Amino acid sequence: MNATTPGPQRPTIAILLPDLRMGGAERVSLILAGGFVQAGYPVDLVLIKGAGQLQAEVPAGVRQVELGCASEYTALRPLMNYLEQRRPAVAISSLDLASCVLLLARRLSGVDTMTTVVESSTVSIFRRSTAKKLMERLLLSALFPTANFRVGVSKNTARDLAAYIGLPAGQVKAIYNPIIHRDLPRLAAEPVEHPWFAPGQPPVVLAVGRLRPEKDYATLLRAFRQVQAQRDCRLVILGDGELRPELESLVQELGLQARVSLPGFAGNPYAYMSRAGVFVLSSSFEGLPSVLVQAMACGCPVVSTNCPSGPDEILESGRYGHLVPVGDVEAIAAAVLEVLDGRGKPVPAGWLQQFEIETIIEQYLEMFGLPQPDRES
């Protein structure tokens, strides 16, 4: 896809985020924003709060609009004002609460902006309290059908959302996240300061993601204890979250203090992926785990639970990586040992093209009915 210089003939695309905190949906939104700019479209990044660690990753050419709100709950009127004044052709949101606010703002403002809501999780099994789950389903069932476009980031995520909100499956389109972008090779080649990644060190088992229950790092730690009993290796989990104290306690309980590192978030996880011996996704559920594709693109062999949703699609039913049952300590350990013994599964370069930014941008523009970069306006 060739870059096209933005001009007045191209309609504006708005991407809504609560803030720029370190998170998968936030990173994907920034990659999308850069892709639309590269395709020749003016892009507004509309931030409800504005603060966050990913500020430095906002692509050049993206116009930031900060609503200055305390949270999504106070953003309705400011978002209506933005829509009325700027009138973007398309507005995209990928976090459920922000998406609901966007749909309400569009309805109340009466503008003709096309709204797109993106579901990035297997929403039906996303853990919430009973009351919150009931409210979530009511809100999504009432508001998501009013969007012009509904997207699930994997085939199963799309089917799950449609069933959850009572729509025919065909009314939620599956479009993968733009996971592989042009800067990835450069970022993968950057140095890593962590001493375990220095040449000559034992192989590193790597995991990346927030320290949250659905990542099931407790199972990974127990599996790693079995692995390190047979192979000299280390485990690094990049990420942070509310389960840090619990996981640190489990590391001590398992006697793994000298072999496990929880260094927190890394601004450039690709450099770690390109140097790891094996990447492990231990999740109990996902939407489309970007880190799995990123690790594959960095040349790192992968082991993943066959959780809903995404790993089975990404790994072509286990052809391009080891798929193991959710929560199975022994199966994860056995698969990791296979990879460390040199029995990883190679990934053809062509397989990963479906996750490239150019491919995804073309699919979005086709859905919106907007010109592709190589077409005349």
Using CB atoms within 10 Å of the CB of residue 139, give its burial: 0 to 12 exposed, 13 to 18 middle, 19+ buried.
middle
CATH class of 184-353: alpha beta
Determine contact, residues 15/151, Cβ cutoff 8 Å. no
Q: Is the dihedral of CA 48, 54, 59, 60 positive or negative?
A: positive
Residue limits of CATH 3.40.50.2000 in the chain: 13-178+356-368, 184-353
pLDDT at 7 over 70: no
Cis peptide before 309 (omega within 30 of 0): yes
Question: What mean pLDDT comes out for the span 4-26?
Answer: 80
Distance CA 178, CA 119 (A): 14
Does domain 13-178+356-368 fall under CATH 1.10.10.10? My reply is no
What band does 22 get if pLDDT is binned at 50, 70 and 90?
Answer: confident
Give the model confidence (pLDDT) of 266-279 as tens digits: 989 999 999 999 99
Strands (E), 39-159: 43-47, 62-66, 90-93, 114-119, 149-152
Give the model confidence (pLDDT) of 279-331 as tens digits: 999 999 888 898 999 999 999 999 999 998 889 999 999 999 999 999 999 99
Residue pointed to by tokens 């059908």: 145
Give the model confidence (pLDDT) of 346-363 as tens digits: 999 899 999 999 999 999
- Give pLDDT, residue 4: 45
Determine contact, residues 79/87, Cβ cutoff 8 Å. no
Distance CA 169, CA 54 (A): 34
Give the model confidence (pLDDT) of 177-202 as tens digits: 999 988 899 999 999 999 999 999 99
- Give pLDDT, residue 374: 62
Question: What mean pLDDT comes out for the span 47-58?
Answer: 88
Distance CA 42, CA 40 (A): 7
Q: Which of 273, 279, 212, 209 is nearest to 24 (CA)?
A: 209
Residue predicted with more confidence, 51 or 221? 221
pLDDT at 230 over 70: yes
This prediction's pTM? 0.84
Distance CA 215, CA 177 (A): 19
Order of strands across the sheet that contains 322-324: 260-264, 234-238, 204-208, 278-281, 302-305, 322-324
Q: Please provide the average confidence, as pLDDT, over all residues in the chain.
A: 93
Length of the chain: 377
Residues ≥6 apart with Cβ < 8 Å to 205: 224, 227, 233, 234, 235, 236, 276, 277, 278, 280, 336
- Give pLDDT, residue 227: 98
Residue 28 backbone phi and psi in degrees, to 5: -60, -40
